[in-house]
Amino acid sequence: MLQTCIQCGVCSSSCSVRYELNLRKLIANFLGKKHFWDQQLWNCTNCRICEDRCPRGIKLTEQIVKAKKEVLERGFVPQEIIKFLENVRKFGNPFGRGKRWYENLEIKIAERGDFDFLFFAGCATFDEKIAEVARKAVKLLNFAGVNFAVLRDESCCGNDVLAIGEEGLFELLKEKNMKIFEEVGAKKILTLSPHCYNAFKNYYEIKTYHVTEVLSKAIEKAEIKFTKVLEKVVTFHDPCYLGRYNRIYDAPRKILEYIPGIKFLEMQRSKDLSICCGGGAGNVVRYMKNRPSMMRVEEASSLGAELLVTSCPFCFMMLEDDAKLKNLEVKDVIDLVYDSVF
């Protein structure tokens, strides 16, 4: 497939991590030497903008994942990625031991057939700020009358394990999760993370919804009513696995438009042209000198936004530290809904 490349450079110029990954050079090396043995491979976040914009329709992300798989098998792997995978194997969470983020909440633990949605919070709830977003989502879902339950303990969905190229571990995670879903009778999954959404919808092939889809409909039906005005200027960062991978662009924006007092500004690089936060494919635990998260923060700041809003735990984590340098606050869409309702 790569032999059809015309070396136009669109992939390299579009790449979210173009200062850390020269895609054009990588492809040229492959064509000339028939290999992808380059440590730059691991900087790819699987954001897929290169693939979407390729005039030849080359499945570049797919080829990079295949290359990662080969490199992984040969042992040429950064230490952070090794630790990431070890944590998933040992603890079912790439960050090490997770926690029960729902403690002290009025919440239903999944038992067979007693709920409509299984709410899956995801690995990032090890971080207290993400755990708080999950708790706020639960309160909003309860307020809207959504019949849902949670698992007593979750295991990684495997989305980023697969993006790293570790197919064997992904299949083990999928088998384990599917067995649990069947045991509790889960027919529909409701996710906090777009990464989980992508895995469950496209690889597990189970009916899956992102929390913004359910909340936006609840707001439309007046099942959630606002009580406070939030006079804030906001812009929205599209998560790759919510936007480019699954074409969910409208739901989070509709929510922001509904919230009283919000002035919404669109960044130039938005929707299918949105750049990545830099956290995909295991890079949430790695450091890049030229971080796309910093570029994203600068773009939001130049608009005059007070809040940089997203709807992905990994994006939240990646953007937050850089945002402090620009006196910009990062929020999840759920944070704003909650603040305007309660």
Characterize the bridge pairing of strands 263-265 and 233-236: parallel
- pLDDT for 99 equals 77
Residue 163's pLDDT band, with cuts at 50, 70 and 90, is very high
pLDDT, one tens digit per residue, over 279-315 is 999 999 999 999 999 999 999 999 999 999 999 999 9
Percent of the residues in the chain that have a pLDDT greater than 90, as a whole number: 83
The mean pLDDT of 213-235, rounded to a whole number, is 97
Long-range contacts, 69-72 (Cβ 8 Å, 24+): 69/165, 69/166, 69/167, 70/36, 70/165, 71/36, 71/37, 71/41, 71/165, 72/164, 72/165, 72/166
Decide: helix, strand or coil at residue 309. strand
- pLDDT for 35 equals 67
Most confident of 58-62, 100-104, 238-242: 238-242
The mean pLDDT of 189-194, rounded to a whole number, is 98
The mean pLDDT of 28-42, rounded to a whole number, is 74
Residue 75's pLDDT band, with cuts at 50, 70 and 90, is confident
Task: Please name the residues in contact with 119: beta carbons below 8 A apart, sequence gap of 6 or more.
Answer: 137, 138, 141, 148, 149, 150, 190, 191, 192, 211
Closest of 143, 50, 53 to residue 135, by C-alpha: 143
* Choice among 50-54, 78-82, 96-100, 251-255 with the minimum mean pLDDT: 96-100
Residue 37 has pLDDT above 70, yes or no: no
The H or E element containing residue 117 is: strand 117-120
- Can you give the pTM of this predicted structure? 0.96
- pLDDT for 325 equals 86
pLDDT, one tens digit per residue, over 8-29 is 889 999 999 999 998 888 887 7
Q: How far apart are CA 150 and CA 190, in angstroms?
A: 10
Q: Where do runs of H (alpha helix) occur along the chain?
A: 10-14, 23-33, 49-53, 60-74, 79-91, 128-143, 159-164, 167-184, 194-202, 211-220, 250-258, 292-303, 313-324, 333-341
pLDDT, one tens digit per residue, over 227-277 is 999 999 999 999 999 999 999 999 999 999 999 999 999 999 999 999 999
Task: Please name the residues in contact with 278: beta carbons below 8 A apart, sequence gap of 6 or more.
Answer: 16, 17, 45, 288, 291, 292, 293, 318
- pLDDT for 118 equals 98
